[in-house]
Amino acid sequence: MKIYDEKHIKNIVLLGAVKSGKTTLAETMLFEAGIIARRGTVEDKSTVSDFHEVEQERENSVYATSLHTEWRNYKINIIDTPGLDDFVGEIASSIRVADTAVLVLNSTQGVEVGTELIWNYVNKFEKPTIIAINQVDHHKSDYEATLDSAKGRFGSAVTIMQYPVNQGEGFNCIIDLLKMIMYKFGPDGGKPEKLPIPDDEKDKAEQMHNDLVEKAAENDESLMELYFEKGSLNEDEMRKGLKIGMMEHTVFPVFCLSALNNMGSGRMMGFIDNVAPAATEMPPELTEEGTEVECDPGQPVSLFVFKTLVEPYLGKLSYFKVNSGELKAGMDLVNAQTGGHERINQIYIMDGKNRNTVDTLSAGDIGATVKLKETKTNHTLHATDFPVSYKKINFPEPRVRVSIEAEENDLKKLAEISKELGAEDPTLSIQYYKELKQLILSAQGDLHLDVTKWRLKHIYDIDVNFGDPKIPYRETIQKSATADYRHKKQSGGSGQFGEITITIMPYVEGMADPEGFNIRGKEEIELDWGGKLVFYNCIVGGAIDARYVPSVQKGILEAMEEGPITKSYVRDIVVLLHDGKMHAVDSNDISFKIAGAGAFKDAFMRSDPKIMEPINSLQVVVPEELMGDVMTDLQSRRATILGMDAEGRYQKINAKIPLAEMNGYNTALKATTQGKAGFTTAFEEYSQVPYDIQEKLVKASTADVV
């Protein structure tokens, strides 16, 4: 395989909502360049990109797939991504390493909610962007409406490079405003005939060409001077201005095409070659410390691992981008996160499941390797004399939770593979929660759950059922109370005896030490589940021996792991141990530990206990016309609406919502909006539950005990 230098490598990511045609476009790009002899189809399960069994079964991309093509002495690395935001982890990691985003819009739909959610990541990483309006050959194609929706969402940066002459059934002509010619395609697409612009399109094309010239000129002072001097710019000058605009996010070139019929993809590939920036032209990579690393093959080698895939029988496949230097097979590199050494025995250029072995990759290129021992997604590998650690991808928080039920024999196996699944997909986790006594699967959406269930069944041979997850409530108190507790046990010989008196009160951050007690010692304990226990030793006169105080504290901590009301964790409590009794023979550590737990429970129930529930932040992106239905549903779920922001024809609703009300929300939102809305969520805080809900929780807990 030909080795390309860093100036002739272009890295693009194909983005877009489901059914926008990304996989078909990728297939067409490979075919146009002669990488494949015939084009596969999603329906025939024969595309290079969607090669996983679960993708072929669902006829949708689930994984981001690395491909490559070669076009006019340039290598174009392509990452084809899923269109469903359930697989946003695949999308985010792909955008992170690409140098240009190609945003594919379905010309029958325009900017969809899936596009909106994806755009947040494009904006975050500030990637140069090309807009590809696909399916202009569809009988419902509306190029103008799609263009208007793009302008409404992305603003004046939307820059028309082409427009279709005869969209819909029979489409075969595109007018190119940069070259000022008309491309006419044959019935099978492919290489078009270049023709003069028809007379009835000349005035429109001339006006749009002039607009394009002005757009290119305004990105550079020298070009603007040339434009004022000559009244126009030549093609090379326009390319220069467009590239500057793409780099500054002020130009999003718009192309139109039919990926299905192979019309227009070659022209867009040529533009990627000539105008889209190479990695060496992009801003330097940032390290965790905030320093910059140029994409320079002359520096020592370093690479960033952006994706991990565990293939049955083949082991772990690690995808990476070479950020500096020149990677050669056989190199030993250091893992910046673990400090361990990894040998790169083999280097691959990936085309779906096909591995093309190469000996070298230059800075800016994307590749893969196998059998790295400790390296995971978000890890940096570097030469010994070049210690860097690149800034990590911040993956989104899970949006849905379910409990997992499996056969007893499968639970141990499930625990082992949960780490493997998490390493492969950082947006998914399988974790046992001691407080809930449940194994919880956290994911991005219902389809994410379904695919995980499919993988557990078909790849790991584990049958699971999903159930409703319990809510991790917290218990605390609202007023002070005092309690005595005596533990006495006599069964012949030495017995057990421990008696204590404690006062408990609510803890508030920054509160002063309580008055009226002889404080001998203070310990602030940060609880593993959040909040604090502040423990004061106020024993005077030797009422109990100092060696028993830690046992009292230990008993209290154990009692806080299973609160008296709902068996949830207890938090934010002040405990003052200020009296007690002991026996010269029968007192011991276990006696005072039991006394500590008993006194705490008694005092807790006298302190006006309250239940705290987890509250999540929530942002819903919804078409404006459906906002009322979404708001009504949110209010029925005890959500607090914080505000709304307009984003083109969409509205962003910002709210806070109890986690208990999030169960089933993903399904409900899709049903309410016919799949046209999406949301993100993250833990925000704990807040007191309403009185009526606390009553129900107490009754339910009592019923469970009975």
pLDDT tens track for 431-453: 988 889 899 999 999 999 999 99
pLDDT tens track for 621-657: 998 899 999 999 999 999 999 999 987 778 999 999 9
For domain 295-382, is the CATH number 2.40.40.20? no
Helical (H) or strand (E) element with 154? helix 143-154
**Domain locations along the chain:** 7-191+246-281, 295-382, 400-470, 478-608, 612-704
Query: What is the residue-wise DSSP string for 36-60?
Result: SSS---TTTT--SS--SHHHHHHTS
What is the average pLDDT value for the chain, to the nearest integer? 93
Q: How confident is the model at residue 315 (pLDDT cuts 50, 70, 90)?
A: confident
The tokens 């019923």 sit on which residue? 703
| CATH architecture for the domain at 400-470 | 2-Layer Sandwich (3.30)
Which DSSP symbol is given to 426? T
Residue 465 clears pLDDT 60, i.e. is over it: yes
| CATH architecture for the domain at 612-704 | 2-Layer Sandwich (3.30)
pLDDT tens track for 213-261: 999 999 999 999 998 988 899 999 999 999 999 999 999 999 999 999 9
Phi-psi category of residue 59: left, alpha or beta, with phi > 0 → left and psi -120 to 50 → alpha: left
For domain 478-608, is the CATH number 3.40.50.300? no
- Give yes or no on whether 7-191+246-281 and 612-704 have one common fold: no
Q: Closest Cα to residue 69, out of 25, 14, 15, 30?
A: 30
Q: Using alpha carbons, list the distances in angstroms from residue 356 to 1, 6, 106, 317, 327.
A: 8, 19, 32, 14, 16
CATH number of 7-191+246-281: 3.40.50.300
Give mean pLDDT, residues 267-278.
95
Residue 167 clears pLDDT 60, i.e. is over it: yes
pTM, two decimal places: 0.87
